[in-house]
């Protein structure tokens, strides 16, 4: 089950990074509400990334183990959404560090957790 990420993002966010953007539908919905935002979509599937590039200002195929945002020109984000295959970062040692480093001081991290019962185990392990 997927949540409506566009409605959960901070409405005044100037820069958003969505890891697990799929074809970019949620990003496109957010951009209709906040057209001035700089929206970055990341997908693990090259076909989805190509479709997202038609809807978002920035979209690319990026695997969870190779998060080098600065190399892409992304240095700060007001919101980061973690979804789908990128949830594997929760299981990696230091996996959320690149996302924490990316967030502004008041930034928000949104995690799509398909099974909320899984979260206490993730937090206990880290």
Classify residue 5 as left (phi > 0), alpha (psi -120 to 50) or beta. alpha
pLDDT bucket at 3, cuts 50 / 70 / 90: low
Q: Tell me how many degrees the CA angle 45-31-100 measures, rounded to the nearest 5.
A: 65
| Res 120 pLDDT > 80 | no
The pTM score is: 0.88
| Res 36 pLDDT > 80 | yes
């Amino acid at each position: 089950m997927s949540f409506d990420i566009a409605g959960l993002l901070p409405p005044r966010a100037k820069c958003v990074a969505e890891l697990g953007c799929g074809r970019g539908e949620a990003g496109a919905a957010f951009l209709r509400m906040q057209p001035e935002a700089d929206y970055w979509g990341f997908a693990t599937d090259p076909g989805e990334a190509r479709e997202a590039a038609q809807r978002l200002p920035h979209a690319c195929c990026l695997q969870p183990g190779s998060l080098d945002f600065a190399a892409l020109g992304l240095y700060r984000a007001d919101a980061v959404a973690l979804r789908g295959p990128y949830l594997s970062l929760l299981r990696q040692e230091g996996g959320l560090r690149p996302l924490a480093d990316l967030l502004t001081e008041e930034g928000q991290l949104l995690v799509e957790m398909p099974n909320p019962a899984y979260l206490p185990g993730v937090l206990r392990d880290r």
